[in-house]
C-alpha cells in the first residue's frame, strides 16, 4: 500500500520524500512486475529495491559485481539509521561461522534476512545456492482459512521475493563493463518464471537497455529513467603542464600513468597540492590508479605529507581490504588510493 511505502521510507530509511521515479519503481516491483531502473549514481537506485525488500515477507536476492560494493551495502544496511535492516552476503570469502549463520537463517520457515547479496560468479557456479533459492521459492509463508471448505488454503507463498541485478549494464557486451557470468543471469527467469526481476544501472543507452532486457528475459519490464544532471555537484577538470593528470572535483580524483619519474613526481606534487588547497581537512575521496603498485606509491606519498591516505587493491587480503574500507567509511582515512577492485 502507498501509505505503507511512505511510512517505511520515513521511519526505516529516514527520508521525508521520494526522488524522481523511486515511488513508482517501488510500487511496480511490489506488484511483482519486472522493472528496469536507469538512474545516475547518487540518484537513489538502492532505495528502489531496499525498501520493497523490507516490505516483502520473503528474501530479496541482489546480484552485484564487486565484493567491496557488496560489503559496503551490507554494512550500511545493518548500521542503517533509524532502524537496522537484516542483510547478508555470500561469497568465497565469507567466514565459515558467518556462512553457517546465514544458511541457518535462510533455512528457517520465515528467514529474518531481507536482502542477500551475491556476486554473479557465485550465483553462476554454486549449484547449492540455486537449490537453496528453489527451496525458498517453494516455501509457504502464510495460510488462511477457506470458510466454505473449512480448510487451510495457501494465501501466499514463495519466500523468494525478487531478484535484483545491480550494475545491469554488465549483462551485455554492449555495456562497457561486460562480465561473462552476468550474461548467465537469464537463467534465473527460466528457473523462476514467476519471481520478479529488477535491473538497475547508472549508465545505459537504449541499445544497452534493450540488450539487458533480452538477456535477462524481461521483455515487458517497466522502464524508469531520470535526468543525469546532478545539480548538487560541481564538476571541474584540470590538466597539469604535461596534460596527463586530471581531477574530477567532488566525484573522484584520477591519476594517470606517467612514463618518466620526474613527471610522476610533478604530478604527485600537483595532486597533493590540489587536495590540500581545495579540501584541507574535509577530504573524503578516492584516487583511482592504474596499477596496484601505483595505488601504494600514491597513498604513501600523500600519507608522508600529512594526508590520511591508504591503498586498496586486489593484491591485499580480504581482511586488509575490509579494514581500509571500514576506516574510510568511518572517517579515519580521508583518501583511498585504489584500483577498480
Q: How far apart are CA 296 and CA 293, in angstroms?
A: 5
The total of other beta-carbon atoms located within 10 Å of residue 178's CB is 13
Query: How confident is the model over 190-221, as pLDDT tens digits?
Result: 999 999 999 999 887 889 999 999 999 999 99
Say which CATH class 237-338 falls into: alpha beta
Q: How far apart are CA 65 and CA 63, in angstroms?
A: 7
Give the closest residue to 162 by CA, choosing from 25, 292, 281. 25
Burial annotation 36-45 (CB, 10 A radius, 16+ → b, else e):
bbbbbeebbb
Q: In this predicted model, which residue has the larger pLDDT, 227 or 144?
A: 227
Q: What is the DSSP annotation of 20-83?
A: TTHHHHHHHHHTT--EEEE--TTSSHHHHHHHHHHHSSSEEEEE-S-HHHHHHHHHHHHT-SSS
**CATH code of the domain made up of 2-225:** 3.40.50.300
Q: What is the DSSP annotation of 126-154?
A: -HHHHHHHHHHHH-EEEEEEETTTTEEEE
Give the closest residue to 307 by CA, choosing from 315, 316, 298. 298
Distances (CA, A) of 313 to 54, 83, 196, 289: 33, 32, 35, 10
Of the CA atoms within 13 Å of residue 142, those in its CB half-sphere come to: 6
Q: In this predicted model, which residue has the larger pLDDT, 95 or 200?
A: 200
Whether pLDDT at 45 is above 50: yes
In terms of C-beta distances under 8 Å and separation of at least 24 residues, what long-range contacts does 23-29 make, across chains too? 24/224, 25/198, 25/222, 25/224, 26/51, 26/52, 27/2, 28/222, 28/224, 29/162, 29/196, 29/198
Question: Looking at residue 176, what is its pLDDT?
Answer: 58
Query: How confident is the model over 219-261, as pLDDT tens digits?
Result: 999 999 876 555 554 545 445 444 433 343 333 444 444 344 4
Asked whether the domain spanning 237-338 has the same topology as the one spanning 2-225, the reply is yes
pTM: 0.68
Length of the chain (residues)? 341
Q: Are 56 and 30 in contact (CB under 8 A)?
A: yes
Q: Are 300 and 327 in contact (CB under 8 A)?
A: no
- Domain positions in the chain are 2-225, 237-338
Q: In this predicted model, which residue has the larger pLDDT, 68 or 176?
A: 68
Strand duo 237-239 + 246-248: pairing: antiparallel
Q: How far apart are CA 160 and CA 132, in angstroms?
A: 10
Query: How confident is the model over 56-79, as pLDDT tens digits?
Result: 989 999 999 888 889 889 999 999
Give the closest residue to 285 by CA, choosing from 246, 248, 314, 323. 248
Give the closest residue to 21 by CA, choosing from 198, 235, 233, 216. 198
Amino acid at each position: 500500500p502507498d501509505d505503507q511505502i511512505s511510512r517505511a521510507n520515513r521511519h526505516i530509511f529516514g527520508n521525508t520524500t521520494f526522488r524522481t521515479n523511486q515511488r513508482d519503481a517501488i510500487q511496480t516491483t511490489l506488484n511483482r512486475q519486472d522493472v528496469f531502473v536507469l538512474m545516475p549514481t547518487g540518484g537513489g537506485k538502492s532505495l528502489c529495491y531496499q525498501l520493497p525488500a523490507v516490505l516483502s515477507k520473503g528474501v530479496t536476492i541482489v546480484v552485484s559485481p564487486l565484493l567491496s560494493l557488496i560489503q559496503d551495502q551490507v554494512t550500511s544496511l545493518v548500521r542503517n539509521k533509524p532502524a537496522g535492516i537484516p542483510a547478508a552476503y555470500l561469497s568465497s570469502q565469507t567466514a565459515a561461522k558467518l556462512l553457517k549463520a546465514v544458511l541457518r537463517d535462510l533455512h528457517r520457515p520465515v528467514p529474518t534476512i531481507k536482502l542477500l547479496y551475491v556476486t554473479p560468479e557465485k550465483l553462476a557456479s554454486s549449484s547449492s545456492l540455486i537449490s537453496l533459492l528453489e527451496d525458498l521459492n517453494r516455501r509457504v509463508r502464510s495460510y488462511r482459512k477457506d470458510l466454505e471448505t473449512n480448510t487451510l488454503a495457501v494465501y501466499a507463498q514463495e519466500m523468494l521475493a525478487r531478484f535484483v541485478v545491480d550494475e545491469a549494464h554488465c549483462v551485455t557486451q554492449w555495456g562497457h563493463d561486460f562480465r561473462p557470468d552476468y550474461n548467465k543471469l537469464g537463467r534465473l527467469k527460466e528457473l523462476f518464471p514467476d519471481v520478479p526481476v529488477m535491473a538497475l544501472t547508472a549508465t545505459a543507452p537504449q541499445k544497452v537497455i534493450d540488450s539487458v532486457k533480452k538477456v535477462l528475459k524481461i521483455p515487458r519490464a517497466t522502464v524508469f529513467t531520470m535526468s543525469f544532471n546532478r545539480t548538487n555537484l560541481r564538476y571541474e577538470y584540470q590538466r597539469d603542464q604535461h596534460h596527463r593528470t586530471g581531477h574530477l572535483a567532488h566525484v573522484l580524483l584520477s591519476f594517470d600513468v606517467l612514463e618518466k619519474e620526474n613527471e610522476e613526481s610533478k604530478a604527485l606534487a600537483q595532486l597533493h597540492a590540489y587536495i590540500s588547497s581545495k579540501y584541507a581537512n574535509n577530504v573524503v575521496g578516492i584516487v583511482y590508479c592504474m596499477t596496484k603498485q601505483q595505488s601504494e606509491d600514491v597513498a604513501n606519498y600523500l600519507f608522508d605529507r600529512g594526508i590520511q591516505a591508504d591503498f586498496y587493491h586486489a593484491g591485499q587480503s580480504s581482511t586488509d581490504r575490509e579494514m581500509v574500507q571500514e576506516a574510510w567509511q568511518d572517517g579515519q582515512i580521508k583518501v583511498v588510493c585504489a584500483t577498480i577492485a
